[in-house]
Amino acid sequence: MMNRAFFQAMGLGRGRCRGDGKGRRKGYRCHEACCKGRDDTNLNDIAPGEACTICRLHGRGSVRQRLLDLGFQPGREVKMVRNAPLHDPIELQLGDSFIVLRRREAAHIEVTHA
C-alpha cells in the first residue's frame, strides 16, 4: 500500500482517479465514450497474485480484436501475475500464456472476482 501511494505521488502510478468518493478501491479508468460512467471492476483493480473471471471487453477496434485473439474471452479466468517495476504495464496469466498489457488497455477488460 505504501508503495502504491508513493508511485501515485510520483505520478508514476495509476492514472488520475476522478475522486468520485464512492470509497471503493478504484484504478485506472478508461475515459473513452464507450466506458464513460462505467463503475464495475476491471483488470486494474486486481492485485498481484489474485485471479478473476472476464465478463466483458469494452473498447473497440484493433485493441479489442487483439485482446480477443490473445484469448481474453468472456468466461475465461485470468490471473494478475505482477506489476512492472514502475507499476505499469502489468503481466497477466491466461491459461498457459503470460501476457503483458498497459493499464490503459487493461481498463477495457471488465472482470468479476473468482
Q: Provide the binding-site residues for other proteins, judged by CB under 8 A.
A: 3, 10-12, 16, 31-32, 57, 60-63, 65-71, 73-74, 76, 81-89, 91, 93, 95-102, 104-105
Cell numbers placing 110:
471488465
Least separation in angstroms between residue 110's CB and other proteins is 13
- The Cα–Cα gap between 93 and 97 comes to 6
Closer Cβ to other proteins, 3 or 53, answer by number? 3
DSSP letters for 48-60: TT-EEEEEEE---
Measured in degrees and rounded to the nearest 5, phi and psi for residue 90 equal -125, 155
C-alpha distance from residue 36 to each of 12, 39, 49 (Å): 23, 9, 28
**Cβ proximity to other proteins, 9 vs 21, nearer residue:** 9
As measured in angstroms, the least distance from the Cβ of 79 to other proteins is 10
**How near is the Cβ of 83 to other proteins at its closest, in Å?**
7
